[in-house]
Amino acid sequence: MTLYLRLGAEVAAALEEGRPLVALESSVVAHGLPRPENLSAADAMLSAVRQEGAVPAMVALIDGHLHVGLSDEEVARLATTDKVAKVGRRDLATTLAARALGATTVSATMIAARLAGIRFFATGGIGGVHRNWQSHPDISSDLAELARTPVAVIASGAKSILDIPATLEALESLGIPVVGYRTTRFPAFYVADSGVSLDQSSEDSVKLARIAAAQWSLLPDGGLLIANPPPAESALDAATLESWTAQALREAEEKGVTGSAVTPYLLGRLHDLSGGKTRVCNVALLLSNARLAAQVAKEFNTLEHIS
């Protein structure tokens, strides 16, 4: 335990009793969705985890502490406060020292989960290698975090605005297992098939739990990525999405959008170009990933008790 860590009552009780838990990031609440949809989506994710028999543990930085497991009031504060800090690995110490309100991204949520003893984490999609990385190197810290933090991330692959083949090459180079759930194709957030095949897949949560157990038995310091395609009813056509993405990238370059502003700009433009379909898909895949994470956490918990 760290001096800065604060466990919510429900999370602390679940850890004490050996019940399965699922970590959830808070950046999607503070930054990923507009009001009031952000709060309703957060409530739905928390409920989805509980309905599958696990305990949700949303993570955020509040008043100088790293909270794992938030109250309804704390979730609402994140959803309604302006200028919430977006916190990755590099931002944890400065945000804590400033006692600022911070919403965690993938890397920071993984760190919090590890500190709390939580093995599974559901999110929308991981970051990765950005397009045009040859001339403008931009690689998400999510990849390095997956290589060194023993948490299984359940996500709909990587965000479609990234260089997907380069992202998968980086994952392979870092030794991070990528396992498709009921798919042999790597999903790219809004689309079920990025065009890149996967070497490993599983048809059920039992096998996923066994893979996670084997991974941590052999390599206790690394994580893994479970790639769960977006629900078929909300997934978008890959060719159409690529056309929109190319247009949004051109516009971003013309407007001089750079650095950390690129991703939110692109996602905002994709929302506009799709007539809101990307946001519908985003919420649907968040709920799907939360449910799957809870199912795998339950199966893993059973394996631990048997062993």
Q: What is the pLDDT of residues 265-283, one digit of tens each?
A: 988 999 999 999 999 999 9
Q: Determine the pLDDT at residue 61.
A: 98
At 306, is the pLDDT very low, low, confident or very high (cuts 50, 70, 90)? low
Catalytic one among 25, 52, 145, 299?
Answer: 25
Of 47-51, 115-119, 235-239, 265-269, which gets the smallest average pLDDT? 265-269
Say yes or no to pLDDT of 260 above 80.
no
175 SS3 class: coil
Say yes or no to pLDDT of 248 above 60.
yes
**What number is the average pLDDT over the span 103-111?**
98
**What number is the average pLDDT over the span 204-229?**
96
Per-residue pLDDT reduced to its tens digit, 153-174: 999 999 888 999 999 999 999 9
Beta carbons within 8 Å of 85's beta carbon, 6+ residues apart: 61, 91, 95, 100, 101, 102, 103
CA distance 78 to 83: 10
Q: Determine the pLDDT at residue 305.
A: 61
Say yes or no to pLDDT of 195 above 80.
yes
Say yes or no to pLDDT of 71 above 70.
yes
Tokens for 292, please give them: 């799957």
Q: What mean pLDDT, rounded, does the chain reach?
A: 95
Say yes or no to pLDDT of 1 above 70.
no
| Ramachandran assignment for 79, one of left (phi > 0), alpha (psi -120 to 50 degrees), beta (any other) | alpha
**What number is the average pLDDT over the span 231-251?**
95
CA distance 112 to 34: 25
Is 159 in the active site? Answer: yes
Say yes or no to pLDDT of 307 above 60.
no
141: buried, middle or exposed (CB in 10 Å: 19+, 13-18, 0-12)?
A: middle
Tokens for 98, please give them: 């400033």
Q: Determine the pLDDT at residue 259.
A: 73
**What number is the average pLDDT over the span 271-299?**
97
**Is 245 in contact with 236 (CB distance < 8 Å)?**
no
CA distance 89 to 102: 12
CA nearest 211: which of 127, 158, 154?
Answer: 154
144 bridge partner residues:
none
Please state, for a pLDDT cut of 70, what percent of the chain lies above it.
97
Beta carbons within 8 Å of 203's beta carbon, 6+ residues apart: 182
Beta carbons within 8 Å of 190's beta carbon, 6+ residues apart: 160, 230, 235, 236, 241, 270, 278, 281, 282
Please state, for a pLDDT cut of 90, what percent of the chain lies above it.
89
Catalytic one among 86, 145, 159, 299?
Answer: 159
